[in-house]
Structure 1
Amino acid sequence: MNKFLSSLSLLVVACATTFSAPAQEVKGDVKAGEKKIAMCIGCHGIKGYQASFPEVHKVPMISGQGAKYIVAALTAYKKGERKHPTMRGIVDNLSDQDMADVAVYYEAHGKVEGAPAPGKAAEGSARVAALLTKGTCVACHGDNFSKPIDPSYPKIAGQHSDYLFVALKSYKAEGQATWGRSNGVMGGIAKQFSNAELRELANYVSVLPGELKTVPQAKFR
């Protein structure tokens, strides 16, 4: 038990080191963000919208996602740590202030005042429980997968299963010029699993109650 707790503590420290937000934090403005989302609506503002690269999958729900995670993800695309060509093309034109404004807008977008927070995640099968333990997923994402231990980590409860699967596989990709994700912690975790096991994890997390949603938005308003 002590050995397990020690390993868990090391993982938490590693997560904090790997996913840490930029040292100079820029404060976002929701109203300003609302004027900067035209490039987001075409994919993230359409329910069921599917991307075709690197394979067909639903684009992630970002309304209700944590602002600091959105900034961290956009920053990773800008630095080339995430290699998706469409997203990289978009963030190349965004300043740090733009990213902060868009992030706080989407964190607040679609939230219902007084809505109860998601509770502890329901237990899955014994096999899924073993996979979660192996990956120590709750160490960073929280035991309900909707309240990560650091706001720069993503909420993942209720996220589309096909997107989660593609994202997890992306951490296993190496040497690809146009897709994949470079992250020491997530790469090390994802590589422990077969793709079939990653799909099982994605399917489990996708049906959990969460705060993420797609709110339909018209590009021209």
Structure 2
Amino acid sequence: MKNFLLTMSALAFTCAGTLSAQAQDINGDATAGAQKNALCTGCHGIQGYHIGFPEVHQVPKISGQGAGYIRAALHAYKAGERKHPSMRTLASSLSDQDIADLAAYYESNGTGVNLPAAAAEGSAKAAELLTKGGCTSCHGPNLSKPIDPSYPKIAGQHADYLYVALRSYKINDKPLIGRAHPVMGGIAKQFSSNELKVLADYVASLPSEMQTVQRSRFK
């Protein structure tokens, strides 16, 4: 498993570099991003908001998420490596500068909480699965300090979203769903759906820097 993770991590760094070599040179402006997020807040700016594709789940918390990951995710939607139709349509309308600005804006809106150095102890089954997947090797010992900016913080993310996202890495043959990622594809395929549910529930229970910032007119 250790050699597998090292090999896949190296491949991921290569892919991240080729995906965003030009985009990484663009500096994001959080103030500009705040003026460009009208479409984002329609889903990500309503606490408790659910969507129904590919199944019903809460939209992910993105305020406080790392800018590098938000950039990588939006570029993946734009390139079709992530197949969610509405996100691909939205990402396709964004320039590299727009993506950088939105990423900077959302990164700046975290909770500001001080997180523990390591994740809290969960059930024996959760601990076993976390070790099997090598989750802390990429996402950090508290699952909120990833080793590379293009990796996400996952601690405290919604459990139902995490479960759907993890399952999507196992799907390679559907035109509208699935995610192509060399590391996560290999890892997710080790687990059954029930095991992914256990992992998602545990990760969601952890303290988080992320939150959903409610749109002002919905407060």
**Same fold, TM exceeding 0.5?**
yes
Q: Which residue of 1 aligns with 2:188?
A: 190
1-structure distance, mates of 2:35, 2:111: 19
Does the C-alpha gap of structure 1 residues 206 and 111 become closer, same or farther in structure 2, counting only changes over 3 Å? closer
Structure 1 stretches of 5 or more lacking a match?
A: none
Q: What residue is the counterpart of 1:151 in the other structure?
A: 149
Cα deviation, residue 14, structure 1: 3.0
What residue in structure 2 maps to residue 133 of structure 1? Answer: 131
- Provide the residue aligned with 1:105 in structure 2: 105
Inter-CA distance 145–208: structure 2 relative to 1 (3 Å threshold)? same
User: Are the counterparts in 2 of residues 18 and 185 from structure 1 also a CA contact under 8 Å?
Assistant: no
Residue matched to 1:210: 208
SS of the residue 1:154 aligns to? coil
After superposition, what is the alpha-carbon deviation per residue over 1:150-201, rounded to whole angstroms, capped at 9, x for unaligned?
0110000000000000000000012111111011111111011000000100
State the 1:15 CA deviation. 3.3
Contact 1:158-1:210 at 8 Å conserved across structures: yes
Q: Normalising to structure 2: TM-score of the pair? A: 0.93
Residue matched to 1:56: 56
Deviation of 1:6 (Å): 4.3
Instruction: Please say if residues 42 and 219 of structure 1, whose CA atoms lie closer than 8 Å, have aligned partners that are also in contact.
Output: no
In the other structure, the counterpart of 1:75 is 75
Deviation at 1:136, TM superposition (A): 0.8
Structure 2: distance between partners of 1:132 and 1:111:
25
Identity fraction in percent = 58
C-alpha distance in 2, partners of 1:209/1:172?
27
Shift in Å, 1:119: 3.0
Aligned mates of 1:153, 1:144 — CA distance in 2? 14
Q: SS where residue 129 of structure 1 aligns?
A: helix
One-letter amino acid of the structure 2 residue matched with residue 14 of structure 1:
L
Q: The residue matched to 2:69 in structure 1 has which SS?
A: helix
Amino acid at match of 1:144: N
Shift of 1:7: 4.4
Secondary structure class of the residue paired with 1:139: helix
The TM-score, its normalising length taken from structure 1, stands at: 0.92
In the TM superposition, residue 117 of structure 1 has moved relative to its aligned partner by 3.4
Q: Return the alpha-carbon distance in structure 1 between the equivalents of residues 4 and 110 of structure 2.
A: 38
Whether the aligned pair in 1 keeps the contact of 2:65 and 2:106 (CA below 8 Å) is: yes
Q: Which shifted more, 177-186 or 116-125?
A: 116-125
Task: Pick one of 167, 170, 177 that aligns with 1:169.
Answer: 167
The CA distance in 2 between the partners of 1:14 and 1:132, in whole Å, is 21
Candidates 7, 13, 22, aligned match of 1:10: 7
The offset of 1:9, in angstroms, is 3.1
Classify 1:102/1:23 alpha carbon distance in 2 versus 1 (closer, same or farther; 3 Å): same
Instruction: Choose the corresponding residue for 1:120, options 99, 118, 121.
Output: 118
> 2:33 is matched by which residue type in structure 1?
G
The whole-number CA distance in structure 2 between the counterparts of 1:30 and 1:188 is: 34
Report the Cα offset of residue 118 of structure 1.
3.8
Aligned amino acid, residue 93 of structure 1: S
Task: State how far apart, in whole Å, the 1-side matches of 2:174 and 2:83 are.
Answer: 8
Query: Using the alignment, how far apart are the partners of 1:218 and 1:139 within structure 2?
Result: 38
Unaligned runs of 5+ in 2: none
Question: CA separation of 1:133/1:82 partners in 2, compared to 1, >3 Å: closer, same or farther?
Answer: same
- Counterpart code for 1:165: Y
